[in-house]
Amino acid sequence: MMKKKLRWILWVGLIVILALYPRVFGIYYTNFFVTFAVFAVYSVSFNLLLGYTALFSFGHAMFFGVGGYGTALALKHIQGFPLLPAILIGAGSAVVLALILCPIVVRVTGSAFSMLHLAFGQLMYVLALKLRNITGGEDGIGGFPIPPFSIPGIVSIDMKAPENFYYFAVVVLGVSLWIMWFFTKTPFGQIQVGVRDNAMRVDYLGFKVPQTKAVVYVVAGAFAGVAGSIFALFQNLIAADSGFGILVSFGAVINTLVGGLGSFFGPIWGTAIMQILEEVTTRYTDRVELVAGLILILVIMFAPMGFVGGVRILKQKWLAHSAPKVKLEKVS
Amino acid sequence: MNILESRGLYHDFKGLEVLFDVNLQVEEGERHAVIGPNGAGKTTLFNVITGTYHPSRGQVFFKGKEVTGSKPYQMARLGMGRSFQITSTFNRLTAFQNIRLAVLSKKGVRFQLFRKVDKMEDITKETDEILKRINLDRERDMPAGMLSYGKHRSLEISMALGTDPDLVMLDEPTAGMSRDETHYAVELIRRLTEGKTAVIIEHDMDVVFSLADRITVLHYGQILATGPPAEIRQNQAVKDAYLGELEA
């Protein structure tokens, strides 16, 4: 009972903080938060594959990029295209890509899966560069109209105002996170972690392993697409490097490993840590990747379960320390 | 009636014949032991029947239907459970979650994406009942990988039975157990397979003769003899090939 009340208080507190955030921190840190939220959702979708199904993708950016390009192309070429359908087109494009790839990729595991994704990810990157007529090459697609959020006859909110966009992005990304969280709590989510631990046994219990992986794969792709779509709207630009770049793929890996792949919220912590670090680093040097790489090495060496895993261990130690001492009698 | 039957089953690994014209017949409701020296093809026979491998030749019938070459998940859905010689559980999941997966399979809950699994009372209740029956209720929330060997084996065996199969195939359920653990496991198997059909691979002759209603002896991929324990004990061919070397 107390726990339930506490949880409600936490939820209300979180919503109040999110609502007041733009007024307190100003425009710069509002945009900072939107970037964080985008990459948090993207990293969590990546962790559905890595942490929950043991599928290590080196090309998760392809879904992010396809989501961004899908939304950008729709808005550029279709006059007066509304906002939510534009995001759905982004997510839908990612789903289509996932559906095309999944018959192949659900049948491989381990390093074959990783390398296949490295290849497909780079293929998408090259396509984005080369199909200049469609994708705009290196420059990408920018300056497309940002439609207002509108429910006909009721409201129409201008999305070009950063503060309005912040609220919109927080709601869309928050709902995405909640859906993914719920996904891991369903019976299907249990079968998913079963596949991670022991795919053969899942088969022998009467579940279809490839189909299970395929569903997870499509869901992870869809939400990476949502993140990419919001990112394109936020920047009013999507280009090969920011959409399909190898650093976008590795970003998910680093965020997840730093945050902790053993928990749902780990990648969110990881994204926050890495983004704050990047923010601080850029004040002193341009070599952001160098610092990120060093952090990754330190995490892998000293906290292999990431930030969340480290906190868990500290908590256990603290509990053990504060527990009543039991006197051990000498057995002779 | 035969619940499981193999007719003229052959299997080879790239030319190496492992099974050679195996005609296994398992009657409904019996505990059927498969024995034989190392390398006799016992586990291969299991793998061919449960769907790990496609047999090179021959047919498998389960509940009167031909199931030759079916996939493991198909066999599981038809009502065949299987446990493994090398413990094969979900090591990062708790004992409870391990059994729950078997219960979910039994209830046909597969692509359920709209309910929380923790809120499915019937599933939770049934899982807890199984844990209690196998004496693992105190280890309910312990990761399977951290269970003691004996308990881990119990979990392994009960997962095969958690789907409530009509036929359960136990591959050396007492492998690596101490004398006490074996004794306990045998009682557990006796209790859990009550009224069910079970095929058991076993090395321990005490276990075999105390559990099995009928025994099949496999030797170099061929069936040497099939019959009730007393008959097998007297069989000269079996004595020469297998039992003799144990007593000598």
pLDDT in tens, A159-198: 889 999 999 999 999 999 999 999 999 999 999 999 999 9
Across residues A72-82, what is the average pLDDT? Answer: 93
pLDDT tens digits, residue range A31-61? 999 999 999 999 999 999 999 999 999 999 9
Asked whether residue A292 carries a pLDDT value surpassing 90, the answer given is no
The CA distance from A184 to the nearest CA of chain B, in Å, is 9
- DSSP states along chain B: -EEEEEEEEEEEETTEEEEEEE--EEETT-EEEEE-STTSSHHHHHHHHHTSS--SEEEEEETTEE-TT--HHHHHHHTEEEE-SS----TTSBHHHHHHHHHHHHTT--S--SS-GGG-HHHHHHHHHHHHHTT-GGGTTSBGGGS-HHHHHHHHHHHHHHT--SEEEEE-TTTT--HHHHHHHHHHHHHHTTTSEEEEE---HHHHHHH-SEEEEEETTEEEEEE-HHHHHH-HHHIIIIIHHHH-
Q: Touching check for A107 and chain B: CB below 8 Å? A: no
Contact B102, A205 (CB under 8 A): yes
At A182, is the secondary structure helix, strand, or coil? helix
Asked whether residue A328 carries a pLDDT value surpassing 70, the answer given is no
pTM of the model: 0.91
The CA distance from B32 to the nearest CA of chain A, in Å, is 21
Could you tell me the residue ranges of all domains in chain B? 2-247
Q: Touching check for B138 and chain A: CB below 8 Å? A: no
Kindly indicate the confidence band of residue A199, based on its pLDDT and cuts at 50, 70 and 90: very high
Question: Looking at beta carbons, which residues of chain A come within 8 Å of B82?
Answer: 204
Tell me what pLDDT residue A150 has. Answer: 84
Asked whether residue A88 carries a pLDDT value surpassing 90, the answer given is yes
Asked whether residue A329 carries a pLDDT value surpassing 50, the answer given is yes
| CA atoms of A222 and A239, how far apart (whole Å) | 19
Asked whether residue A205 carries a pLDDT value surpassing 90, the answer given is yes
In chain B, which residue's Cα lies nearest the Cα of A185? B116
Question: Looking at beta carbons, which residues of chain B come within 8 Å of A191?
Answer: 101, 104, 110
Tell me what pLDDT residue A326 has. Answer: 58
pLDDT tens digits, residue range A113-169? 999 999 999 999 999 999 999 998 889 999 999 999 888 878 888 888 999 999 999
Test A196 with B92 for CB contact under 8 angstroms.
yes
Test B91 with A198 for CB contact under 8 angstroms.
yes
| CA atoms of B78 and B81, how far apart (whole Å) | 9
CB contact residues (below 8 A), chain A span 205-244, against chain B: 205-209, 215
CB contact residues (below 8 A), chain B span 52-71, against chain A: 71
The CA distance from A313 to the nearest CA of chain B, in Å, is 16
Could you tell me the residue ranges of all domains in chain A? 24-245
Test A188 with B111 for CB contact under 8 angstroms.
yes
Task: Read off φ and ψ for residue A136, nearest 5 degrees.
Answer: 75, 15
| CA atoms of A213 and B33, how far apart (whole Å) | 37
pLDDT tens digits, residue range B18-61? 899 999 999 999 999 999 888 889 999 999 999 999 999 999 99
Question: Looking at beta carbons, which residues of chain B come within 8 Å of A200?
Answer: 72, 88
For domain B2-247, the CATH superfamily is: P-loop containing nucleotide triphosphate hydrolases (3.40.50.300)
Kindly indicate the confidence band of residue A1, based on its pLDDT and cuts at 50, 70 and 90: low
The CA distance from B247 to the nearest CA of chain A, in Å, is 37
| Average predicted confidence (pLDDT) for chain A | 92
Instruction: List chain B residues with pLDDT less than 70.
Output: 243-248
In chain B, which residue's Cα lies nearest the Cα of A183? B113
Asked whether residue A332 carries a pLDDT value surpassing 80, the answer given is no
The CA distance from B153 to the nearest CA of chain A, in Å, is 14
